[in-house]
A and B are shown apart, each in its own frame.
Chain A
């Protein structure tokens, strides 16, 4: 799991692209987009043990 910076100089542009993906959506539509995105990213990563670590890292801040 990588929790140090992994985006380098592209951090701001990746963040902006994520915001742009939500542009013009209602809150409900944005939640749905986020859910689809999590599923797509999970499949892209494809390693259950790494995913479990990521889920935990996110959960720990809840």
Chain B
């Protein structure tokens, strides 16, 4: 039976690090990096006698996340201890939420192949991150523990098994990431682990009503790996079923080097976490007034923004989707558009630059929009130079790249690099005449009906003018001289 006879079923558990300045239960910094254990104190080291004190901004960020995803916000939620031993877990338990999480229900809507899909959420809960074990820290091969990350606040966003393909899972995660970034609660960085995802994957025969046995896949720190891992896992499970073997419920680790998943621990080895309510923390009370204040202050969310871009700016669904995937990028786009002009034509021009050339340059340097030396005002200046005919397309590209790298003013770059294009008819006419005189054969053919040779002539004239001829003037003069 081929794989196409099977349906893959996926649910995602997404861990998102909240962008608070300090940890969830102490005043230590959440900054990434730093010397090992530089950002620690008795609380996040789990020293005897230390107690957690809840950082209220974690609660607010979790509530805002829940509101943006249409969840019910629990007026009273409860922290619980999840007990297990591991060196990176200083207290021997993780403070998380279990029976009464802060948010329940909700959904994430995403677009795939032009169609909208919705995946429902089970819950969102708050918890603390663990530290990290560092191996071979000294010559004798011993391991160390870095607890800088221990106590960094997380929300875990758990979906129902509503996703039906690896592509859906990827688009779900992209949509969720865009929302978290638009809210300013998460930086969306999957490489550094501030956004992490586990996938529960099962397969069933198409048309079946009962879900198959699921495996939990861990360690996928990019969209590509998520897709690879799910596809591999689905194929593995189908092959087992076809061979008449059972799928065993277990936790599996994705190996990005080999593109496969492998067993980490079986159901029998699974921890009994012995959850119980955290006695050191009173229940978290969220007043209705706070919920309403946070709801009123929610920013425009990616899908609403994309719709607005399409409706009032006339952008294509694809362009709009591209812009809103990163709230920092769409904010930059908004600022550039405001600096440049209004209306669909202006929007399309700005969008093309942002999605094309700027995305390429940003990808190269890894800089966030807020720190680009090419400010929105400078892009607007470049666009006005194009509109005035001062520079053409190729020149503009050079100007943008130079401004992006150096922060120089566009007109200064145009001058310094001699990128201003020539619109003077006399100079262009001289070049046209020279090209026509040098290519009598082509002129003959053109006049004989091979009109597509116009491109050849334009190219030759531009070459003659070292790329600086105003293309509109060049075209007009050529056609006149060729007798059109």
Answer whether A and B are interacting partners.
no
